[in-house]
Structure 1
Amino acid sequence: MKWTGESQACVSRATLKFPYKKEKRSVNYFFYQTKTKYDNTGDALINKALISELRKYGRVFANCSAYIPVEFLEELEIRKDEQIICKNSRQFALKIIGHALLHRQDNTYIVSGLGDIYGGGVKKVMRNVLSACVLPVYSLLGVKNVRIGRSFGVMTKAMQWSEALRGLFVNSYFVRDTQSLQRCRSMGISKVQLCPDMSWIYEEGTERQENASDVVMINMKGSTLNIKEQKYIDALIKKCKTFLERLEKEKNKKVHVLVAYQVSEDEEFSQYIYQRLKDEFDVEFVDTQMKLGDLRKYYSHCGYHLSNRMHSLLSGYKYGSLPVALIDVKNHLKIAATLKDCDLDEFMIDVFDEFPESKMDNILTNKSKLYRKITICEVEQAEKIHRILSREFDRGEEKE
Structure 2
Amino acid sequence: MTATTVETDRGATIAYILLQTAFENVGDALINRQLIEILSRDVEVVIDVSRAPAPFLANLALDARAGITLRRGGLLALVREMIRARQAGKNVLFVLMPGGNRGEKRYDKYVMNRAYNRFLWLMTRFGVRIVQIGASYEALGPRYERLVRERARLMHRLIVRDRLSADYLSHLGVVSHGILPDLAFNLEVDYARLSTAPAPEFAKTIAFSFRTGRGFLSKDEVRDVVAATISAFPEARFKFVSQVESDAAFMKELAEDCRGRIGKAASHEDFSQQLDRYREVYGDCGLLISNRLHALLLGLSVGVQPLAVLRPAGDVKIRGVFESIGLKDRLLDAPVTPLDLSPFQHATIDAGSIADLRDTRRRLQDGIRALIAQSDASSGHNGEARG
- Say yes or no: does 1:265 pair with 2:246: yes
Q: Alignment partner for residue 210 of structure 2, among 220, 243, 259?
A: 220
Q: 1:287 to 1:393 in 2, by over 3 A?
A: closer
User: What secondary structure sits across from 1:260 in the alignment?
Assistant: strand
How far, CA to CA, are the matches of 2:156 and 2:111 in structure 1? 21
The answer as to whether partners of 1:313 and 1:323 remain within 8 angstroms in 2 is yes
Gaps of 5+ in 2: 1-8, 377-382
- Say yes or no: does 1:113 pair with 2:97: yes
More off after superposition, 281-290 vs 129-138: 281-290
The answer as to whether partners of 2:271 and 2:278 remain within 8 angstroms in 1 is no
The answer as to whether partners of 1:208 and 1:375 remain within 8 angstroms in 2 is no
Q: Alignment partner for residue 303 of structure 1, among 268, 286, 296?
A: 286
Partner of 2:277: 294
Q: Alignment partner for residue 77 of structure 2, among 66, 91, 99?
A: 91
The answer as to whether partners of 2:210 and 2:222 remain within 8 angstroms in 1 is no
The answer as to whether partners of 1:196 and 1:384 remain within 8 angstroms in 2 is yes
Q: Alignment partner for residue 159 of structure 1, among 136, 139, 144?
A: 144
Amino acid at match of 1:317: L
Q: 1:191 to 1:265 in 2, by over 3 A?
A: closer
How far off is 1:334 after superposition? 2.1
How far, CA to CA, are the matches of 1:28 and 1:208 in structure 2? 38
More off after superposition, 343-352 vs 254-263: 343-352
Amino acid at match of 1:387: D
Q: Alignment partner for residue 369 of structure 2, among 369, 375, 390?
A: 390
Q: 1:342 to 1:47 in 2, by over 3 A?
A: same
Post-superposition Cα deviations, 1:128-161, rounded to whole Å, max 9, x if no partner, equal 3212212233223322211111111222212211
How far, CA to CA, are the matches of 2:76 and 2:308 in structure 1? 40
Q: 1:139 to 1:116 in 2, by over 3 A?
A: same
Partner of 2:342: 361
How far off is 1:286 after superposition? 2.6
How far, CA to CA, are the matches of 2:312 and 2:109 in structure 1? 26
Post-superposition Cα deviations, 1:56-93, rounded to whole Å, max 9, x if no partner, equal 2110111211x211221222122387344335333333
Q: Alignment partner for residue 130 of structure 2, among 135, 145, 149?
A: 145
Gaps of 5+ in 1: 1-23, 249-253
User: What secondary structure sits across from 1:164 in the alignment?
Assistant: helix
Q: 1:319 to 1:69 in 2, by over 3 A?
A: same
Pairs within 5 Å for 1:1-400 = 27-65=12-50, 67-79=51-63, 82-101=68-87, 103-104=88-89, 106-118=90-102, 119-203=104-188, 208-210=192-194, 212=198, 213=201, 214-225=204-215, 232-248=218-234, 254-278=235-259, 279-280=261-262, 281-286=264-269, 289=272, 291-357=274-340, 360-365=341-346, 367-368=347-348, 370=349, 374-394=353-373, 396=383
How far off is 1:109 after superposition? 0.7
Superposition CA RMSD, Å: 2.5
How far off is 1:318 after superposition? 1.3
How far off is 1:287 after superposition? 5.6
Post-superposition Cα deviations, 1:233-271, rounded to whole Å, max 9, x if no partner, equal 2122112221232234xxxxx111111211111111112
How far off is 1:224 after superposition? 4.3
How far, CA to CA, are the matches of 2:353 and 2:227 in structure 1? 25
TM-score when normalising by structure 1: 0.82
Amino acid at match of 1:114: P
Amino acid at match of 2:313: K
Q: 1:373 to 1:258 in 2, by over 3 A?
A: farther
Amino acid at match of 2:243: Q
Amino acid at match of 1:89: L
How far off is 1:123 after superposition? 2.7
The answer as to whether partners of 1:346 and 1:363 remain within 8 angstroms in 2 is no
TM-score when normalising by structure 2: 0.84
Sequence identity percentage = 19
How far off is 1:355 after superposition? 4.9
How far, CA to CA, are the matches of 1:259 and 1:31 in structure 2? 37
How far off is 1:356 after superposition? 3.7
The structure having more radius of gyration, on CA atoms, is 1
Post-superposition Cα deviations, 1:193-227, rounded to whole Å, max 9, x if no partner, equal 211100011236x66524553211111222243x7
How far, CA to CA, are the matches of 1:239 and 1:29 in structure 2? 47
Q: Which has the higher contact order (CA 8 A, sep 6+)?
A: 2
Q: 1:114 to 1:287 in 2, by over 3 A?
A: closer
More off after superposition, 48-57 vs 138-147: 138-147
How far, CA to CA, are the matches of 1:321 and 1:108 in structure 2? 40
Amino acid at match of 2:207: M
Amino acid at match of 2:53: P
The answer as to whether partners of 1:31 and 1:108 remain within 8 angstroms in 2 is yes
The answer as to whether partners of 1:124 and 1:159 remain within 8 angstroms in 2 is no
How far, CA to CA, are the matches of 1:141 and 1:172 in structure 2? 17
